[in-house]
Structure 1
């Protein structure tokens, strides 16, 4: 009978214990949470949950090896347990994620325990031949009567993610506005997915003009979201959501197909063919990382019968400066395909004359900030002339953004700049209005 009792006790212990660290596991956390919620329902103070992950653990695992990674986790578990109170339940949920349930604990006391844990993790961990420091990011959430253990973990996780984004090795308390923001973002993602599939997106077009003659050289396609309730939404408000949610590739394919189809119609109606007119579209970093992107471009051109050189892909400096193998492969493949490649917003942060000579690009679009400084600084024109000379010496075309006045256009012409874009020549217009201007205007502005 005693042996049976010991066997059952051992079996129960195994069910509730993390095999590596000897801490509790998710089952133990759930069991302790249910008990704490029942106590709270009888009038006790609600429980608190601390959730933490180790900063940079994946990199440590790769460099130190699996055995050392396990040793780190065991040491971290011991340090957490040494920093908490006797009745706090310390658990490892998997990987480098740990949770501590603090029964009947107000927020200020739970935060004090959390900061003790972070302090306990500060010293280096000895691995024999080396030592490593392994801080943590931590989220704190106080349980509420409606919470399930999954709810509590999810909201503590939101606070923990905030800690990571603010520099790590910090404790962040859950903020209900974070939950609202997440819910709002999920709603926007769903609406954007529907917008892509149901023609709520529209393209506006802005002219690229030859400065010496006013002849139009091409246009840039700029996406807008014609929301059924909120009206016209600018890309600054939904492109970041598309990037964060993984919708950017689907959005990019829509823009590509719609832009080349519009160009096909203009050429078919003899509005652009005589000018060697090109269509510019913006390309994201995610596009360069997609093996299908080159095929998407090739297919779009084949479907419309357009020559590759009639399409120019604008890539931000930040998208191409990573210079990884897949980016290089995609850029080289697009270059072989014959489409134009252009660095957008040149001069906004990563500008390096070295990579201008190495990348297979044809042009750079100089950021508007440089033109805007013309009226404020008498030396600015000389500076712009130097930039133009460098661009030309690299064998590239320069397109100058942000031209808003005739004086700015004339100043750029005077130093040999050839192409420009900005409100002076025309604001972005919907397809039908831009088409009407193409049919009537010989030079820009009118």
Structure 2
């Protein structure tokens, strides 16, 4: 049987306690029915059994605070001693020493019992604000008042006067009332379902009934036909209940603090206080005072009762006020936690949204204009990666403090994400103030942030959005976020102002992103092939093709690779698209090889590889699988990697590139001249071919500097044993100059624009036609991206 707040161990039950209780009730019945000899034996056995049950119960259940139970044990020993003395002295007259000697043990027993039960209550209360102690005191004073009126005064005014020992006996019910009141308070605190409390309550009720009947007989107020054996049987039952309470496992938690104390005055407690308040009037009506000292004592007790009632009501009122204040404080704290960032204590996105909505709803000119600064920390991840998240948290706190020092008191500074901060401004003309604050933020971040690891410098990218009057807070935040990304694209550590063109670009980007996700499955992507020509032979000959992905949208038509390739790289779609292009290109090359005569030179196909594809071991595995499935040798495949991409994640990239090189794949550095373009980087990358970017090739006949760059690049590549491919060749003059400079291969519209694999490609014929190259370049279409 589980108790609310008094959970029992899974391996124990209350069977021992209930067995002891049943055996004790049977023993009490036998005590009443048996003779004098049997009663003496049973009394001794049951008293001893109760003492042993208390000892065994405490030892077996091991409560953390056992002192109250030792007080109860001492009380039972005192009661037993008094009862034994009373049995031994029963031949006396029933007064004098025959009563005084046993009571000399019984009275301390009551004191010990009250102390023990009260100690349980004191330990059980989770707070001193619990009113149980005051209520118990109130009941005790009321019991004293009742005992004075109905027991003590009749004995003091009796003719002939009663002996003192008889007067003392009438005080026992007062002790019992206190014990019963404390047990009731324990029941209230524990929820009323703890077995140990009901067993203690049974002991208190039995003791109270026995003492009340005994006191009434002694006082002569009410003569009851109750024998000494019946009195003793009632007290034996009280012993049995105490022993069973100690044996029950729930006693272990009885002295543990419990938080469900009651501070407010409920209906039951209010009615009880009202009953206590009218008790003197009821007593005066039933038993009017007959002596001046009786009246004085009654007045004194009434004053004490009134004072206790007033204190109890005031405490209840104060407790309720404190509870309401605590609830309001907790509500404010919860509201603060819900609307503020835990790390920096700055307002969060929720409070920002509420505040923007409130500013927008202000009437008339008070609404004004709202400006929003969206601040993102550039490369904040590097701080976490280098020093760990605790240092990153330090930096975020320092950023919050610095922003507070820069903004006005009326501005709202928020942290709405990991490294994202927002400053919201509202005034009749906050636009200029926002621009000025943004510049000051960029300037202030130039100063290092002093952290535990030393001084750390981090730069911000700031986006600004504005709205006049009522506006959608979510849209305003989104616009500032969009402007912030424009600032990042402009080189970071920058400020960008949102405008509608940015919004349209973002929407266009989102539309492309959404459409691109299903383009491959819908068959909207295709691969076009641009020929790569050998320059240094007697006649230019076909070496291979570069595979370029194209997207033909069913509604928007041809979408430039310049638009969708960066999005594919950002979203990770470049990986599945890249694998599909690789497989398609190798399959097309295999088909071309089968169509060409055996005497024709072997061709190759060149496929672009994105930075994301260089991470991990997937690309080498995919390349091997594709080549094996189409029965093509490794030499037939070229893979193009931009120099900046190869160096972005140097360790992973070098591992993947080395694995590809070990497979026999030809590696090309694409767009050389636009990235690092140094001899050291060219030496580090295991590439076989260098492709000169078309921006240098197309202008080298007009700009001497471009020719110098091309000349130096070819010389550098040759010095390292690399072959050179020139991109973007559109005129015969460019072709001839490249041949003279030593370029090995070339591609561009002079030789052919990218075409689908099933289109007629003159360069595929073998032997080649005469002349083997066109006299004039074909017209160049708008989309010229090399990917």
Pick one of 477, 482, 499 that aligns with 1:175.
Answer: 499
Where does residue 566 of structure 2 map in the other structure? 240
Q: Which residue of 1 aligns with 2:663?
A: 337
Distance 1:326 1:143 in 2: 46
Q: CA deviation at 1:44?
A: 3.4
Structure showing greater relative contact order (alpha-carbon pairs closer than 8 Å, 6 or more residues apart): 1
Instruction: Give the CA deviation at 1:244.
Output: 3.1
Counterpart of 2:358 in structure 1 is 35
Q: Work out which of the residue numbers 323, 330, 342 in structure 2 matches 1:19.
A: 342
Say if 1:28 and 1:273 are closer, same or farther in 2 by CA, change over 3 A.
farther
Whole-Å Cα distance in 2 between the matches of residues 424 and 110 of structure 1? Answer: 55
Q: What is the root-mean-square deviation in Å for CA atoms of aligned residues?
A: 3.7
Q: Aligned partners of 2:744, 2:378: CA distance in 1, in Å? A: 50
Aligned residue for 1:432, secondary structure, equals coil
1:310 shift after superposition: 0.9
Q: Is 2:671–2:692's contact at 8 Å kept on the other side of the alignment?
A: yes
User: What CA deviation, in whole Å up to 9, does each residue of 1:274-325 have, x standing for no partner?
Assistant: 3111111222222223532222222221221111111111222222244611
Q: Residues 30-429 of structure 1 correspond to what in structure 2 (within 5 A)?
A: 30-40=353-363, 44-45=367-368, 47-61=370-384, 66-103=389-426, 106-108=429-431, 111=434, 114-115=437-438, 118=441, 124-127=448-451, 130-132=454-456, 136-143=460-467, 147-166=471-490, 168=492, 171-211=495-535, 212=537, 213-270=539-596, 274-322=600-648, 324-368=650-694, 371-372=697-698, 375-376=701-702, 388=714, 390-406=716-732, 408-413=734-739, 417-429=743-755
Counterpart of 2:768? 442
Deviations 1:126-184 (A, max 9, x none): 44784445554433334567754433322222223333444555554432322221111
Rate the CA distance shift 1:55–1:340 in 2: closer, same or farther, 3 A. closer
CA, structure 1 residues 341+44, in 2 after alignment: closer, same or farther (shift >3 Å)?
Answer: closer
In structure 2, relative to structure 1, the CA distance for the partners of 1:18 and 1:244 (3 Å cut) is closer
Number of residue pairs aligned between Structure 1 and Structure 2: 446
Please state how far the C-alpha of 1:390 moved relative to its aligned partner.
Answer: 4.3
Q: For residues 711 and 374 of structure 2, what CA distance do their matches in structure 1 show? A: 56
Structure 1's 299 and 49: CA in aligned 2 closer, same or farther, altered over 3 A?
same
- Go from structure 1 to structure 2 and tell me whether the alpha carbon gap of 1:339 and 1:154 turns closer, same or farther (over 3 Å shift): same
Q: Secondary structure at the match of 2:667?
A: strand
Structure 1 residue 187 displacement after superposition: 0.7
Do the aligned partners of 1:36 and 1:46 also contact (CA within 8 Å) in 2? no
- Which structure: greater helix fraction? 2
Alignment partner of 2:375: what SS? strand
TM-score by length of 2: 0.50
> Could you tell me how far 1:397 is from its partner in structure 2?
2.5
| Shift of residue 31, structure 1, vs aligned partner | 3.7
Q: Which shows bigger deviation, 150-159 or 331-340?
A: 150-159
Q: What is the rounded CA distance, in whole Å, between the counterparts of 2:476 and 2:706 in structure 1?
A: 57
Kindly indicate whether the alpha-carbon contact (under 8 Å) linking 2:593 and 2:602 is maintained by their aligned counterparts in 1: no
Paired position in structure 2 for 1:6: 325
Compare 296-305 and 370-379 and name the one that shifted more. 370-379
SS at match of 2:552: strand
* SS of structure 1 residue aligned to 2:362: helix
Q: 1:173 to 1:273 in 2, by over 3 A?
A: same
Listed as ranges, the gaps of 5+ residues in structure 2 are: 1-319, 775-787
1:70-104 alpha-carbon deviations (Å, 9 max, x no partner)? 44444443443444444444333343333344456
CA distance in 1, matches of 2:498, 2:323: 45
Pairwise CA distance, 1:334: 0.9
Q: Deviations over 1:248-278 (max 9, x none)?
A: 2222122212111111211222357731111
Query: Which residue of 1 is the match for residue 201 of structure 2?
Result: none
Q: Indicate if the aligned counterparts of 1:48 and 1:105 stay in contact, CA closer than 8 A.
A: no
Structure 2 vs 1, CA of residues 10 and 112 (structure 1 numbering), >3 Å: closer, same or farther?
Answer: farther
Q: Which runs of 5+ in 1 are unaligned?
A: none
> In the TM superposition, what is the alpha-carbon distance from 1:427 to its structure 2 partner?
3.1
